[in-house]
Structure 1
């Protein structure tokens, strides 16, 4: 072993004035163990890869050994000799005889995983050092194309990618573990009021149909302009944030035991406009009066009191326009790290930019929806993305939307776990008002308007975990508020006890 170590002491860090962290002995021990017993490779393959080795010769040895083992062929000093005979790095170490010395100095199999983890940890440290140098070099280079804000986002993305390395490479999970997790989710739903598996939207009928907002789900909320997509999204955001309670979760960690922290990317409206909508709902003051400042003293007092009560609401709004999907993901990660994040809402999908220009709009939307689904899985939160519908809805007699009405529907429909449509028949009926001279038509129109007034439908067109169908909600246009629809045969929330 000392002979092998002595040979390596002269190696590769001469090019580095300040030596990067590494452990040549750990690399030698692990390679020797693999060449002696190929079964060890399967135990450490999910932890360490060729690029994690510091020494270039060790990197090539591991790469060739891994390729042979993956083809069910033997990887030993004898079988690797032919591939590395002409390797200049290996020649400096004494040629193929170095492979035999590695195998001869191998440790027992039980320590292989510890050495693999050590090699991986040191590789991450080296990448951190290199990343720090790159950030420093970029900051020192002053150019028009590279402003400080974009450099910060790029650095944050690189750091987060480094932090998440290995976490997404979980590989297979035993059925026992998967079943245990499923039972824990079901138990949490059983213990929770209302029997919801996910975060409550605050709308009872919608919760019954969806079972709440499930973690790692991508939910698409679509509709034509003026149907109330943004209103419904802000209502859900407000309900979730208002119900937020922090406590100890069943697994012992701290987190949201009621409601949740909400992130809202408002790419269409400013944060002030969005806040005004939420305050309109909370204070029951029409949003147009808030906008114009046309309020009575009582309404203004309610408005201020509502604003004070919502100060501590964990609802965070980002109104940066035309965000690329990569920056959106980076900002969501940052919010989760700094304040926590339980629900993410994007208003709306078609205003998100792809990371790079694509040859067609369909491919761009596909990249965006895949990116949103990746955020949902990575951060383990429900992501609600609003979406526009194509104009073909308007040309039909029945204007209730369907899956084929989604713009660039292929990728949106495919990547989403839930697709919901907001539909208000009242909006269309209002525009069919007959002339005052046609009394019969006017009477019929008024009768229809009475039936549809203040009502909205949320049509669930796709749901991976449950049934499709329609949920009826009440809609108060003055306050841009959706609420549970009261039916005369059901007791009100404060009655029947």
Structure 2
């Protein structure tokens, strides 16, 4: 026997009736639900009509909604004028429309989770993936998309914002420092930025071979050795072993060419051993997955966060990442990658 997906038809009817009853009710639910959140097909069409009328700054009452659906040839499909009138009769007021809309949205979220879970299970049974990590990352990304579909901070009142600002000011006062983020180690830069701030995405831009990787590694070294911070470094271009060679070279001030060929003199060996011991204790974690996606980065950071915490994340470099989905142009894909990385920074 086929199970009926979770839904609440009464809540759906209450939302639609409230929207036709009071024009101002639209502002109460516009950030809570969308057309796809309705379970009953007729309700999707009615909501679409109400939404279209609101976007045109037109009234969305019984007459206008009926007319819109009639012109689109869908009036009889939804039950005709009689069903629209029934929605109004069953809804005495729109006083609780936001609560009813949240019920509709919650049921929709459960249905999406069920659908995603079924897709994940199907992929598992058919083994339609290249490796287990790809399968797990795809599953995590799918669940993440469902969880964040309707996330919206909305407008925040002054009382809450003032309290949050005062709390931040108290922390800054106790800190007694001009640097409120993770210091870069470059004094003039830190004077301008107060360090790399939590929740921010910073893009280091320059032409090829101008020292972007060298700069980022110097910042990382200062963070892990001087500030004792925890850093995740995603090296999309360079193998992790090669990257560690560069890190050792920078930290020990021994030329990279000498380290690569093992041409280390007697004076350099103590410094090399001392630096290696320091780095062995440092909290730097390197991933060199080729063509990594933002969602893969997010899942790895979440696992790292639960174990050792994450103070800074470096991706070298953005143009070599992939969204792992079909996007019409590379420029659009890079833009989507940037937006997703910004969202991850705010989340973590």
**CA distance in structure 2 between the partners assigned to 1:350 and 1:379 by the alignment:** 18
**CA distance in structure 1 between the partners assigned to 2:256 and 2:54 by the alignment:** 67
- How big is the shift at 1:20? 0.8
**CA distance in structure 2 between the partners assigned to 1:301 and 1:151 by the alignment:** 40
Q: Which residue of 2 aligns with 1:153?
A: 137
1:307-339 superposed Cα distances (whole Å, 9 cap, x missing partner)? 4422xx1x2212123x1xxx4311221133222
**CA distance in structure 2 between the partners assigned to 1:80 and 1:234 by the alignment:** 61
> Is this contact kept in 2: 1:267–1:352, CA < 8 A?
yes
**CA distance in structure 1 between the partners assigned to 2:61 and 2:112 by the alignment:** 30
Unpaired runs of 5+ residues, structure 2, are none
> Is this contact kept in 2: 1:199–1:240, CA < 8 A?
yes
Q: Which residue of 2 aligns with 1:453?
A: none
**CA distance in structure 1 between the partners assigned to 2:5 and 2:326 by the alignment:** 38
- How big is the shift at 1:127? 0.4
Q: Which residue of 2 aligns with 1:429?
A: none
- 2:174 is equivalent to residue 202 of structure 1: no
- How big is the shift at 1:219? 2.2
- 2:222 is equivalent to residue 239 of structure 1: yes
Aligned equivalent of 1:344, options 297, 313, 316: 313
Aligned equivalent of 1:368, options 326, 334, 347: 334
1:157–1:201 distance in 2 versus 1, CA, 3 Å: same
- 2:6 is equivalent to residue 21 of structure 1: yes
1:192–1:90 distance in 2 versus 1, CA, 3 Å: same
Greater strand fraction, Structure 1 or Structure 2? 1
Aligned equivalent of 1:90, options 71, 78, 81: 78
Aligned equivalent of 2:295, options 330, 341, 350: 330
- How big is the shift at 1:350? 4.2
- 2:255 is equivalent to residue 272 of structure 1: no
Aligned residues: 336
Q: Which residue of 2 aligns with 1:72?
A: 57
- How big is the shift at 1:285? 5.0
RMSD value, Cα: 3.4
- Superposed counterparts of 1:440-479, under 5 Å: none
> Is this contact kept in 2: 1:190–1:196, CA < 8 A?
no
Q: Which moved more, 1:127-136 or 1:333-342?
A: 333-342
Aligned equivalent of 1:230, options 213, 223, 229: 213
1:182-208 superposed Cα distances (whole Å, 9 cap, x missing partner)? 666566555434313432113323211
- How big is the shift at 1:126? 0.2
- How big is the shift at 1:352? 3.5
1:415-441 superposed Cα distances (whole Å, 9 cap, x missing partner)? xxxxxxxxxxxxxxxxxxxxxxxxxxx
Q: Secondary structure at the match of 2:203?
A: strand
> Is this contact kept in 2: 1:264–1:316, CA < 8 A?
yes
- 2:294 is equivalent to residue 306 of structure 1: no
- How big is the shift at 1:54? 0.9
Structure 1 length-normalised TM? 0.59
Q: Secondary structure at the match of 2:238?
A: coil
Q: Which residue of 2 aligns with 1:39?
A: 24
> Is this contact kept in 1: 2:231–2:285, CA < 8 A?
yes
**CA distance in structure 2 between the partners assigned to 1:278 and 1:209 by the alignment:** 26
- How big is the shift at 1:82? 3.6
1:126–1:239 distance in 2 versus 1, CA, 3 Å: same
- How big is the shift at 1:71? 2.8
Q: Secondary structure at the match of 1:74?
A: coil
- How big is the shift at 1:52? 0.5
- How big is the shift at 1:265? 1.7
Greater helix fraction, Structure 1 or Structure 2? 2
1:154–1:288 distance in 2 versus 1, CA, 3 Å: same
- 2:146 is equivalent to residue 162 of structure 1: yes
- How big is the shift at 1:281? 4.1
**CA distance in structure 1 between the partners assigned to 2:335 and 2:64 by the alignment:** 47
- Superposed counterparts of 1:211-226, under 5 Å: 211-214=194-197, 215-222=199-206, 224-225=208-209
**CA distance in structure 1 between the partners assigned to 2:37 and 2:332 by the alignment:** 33
- How big is the shift at 1:46? 0.4
**CA distance in structure 2 between the partners assigned to 1:206 and 1:182 by the alignment:** 25
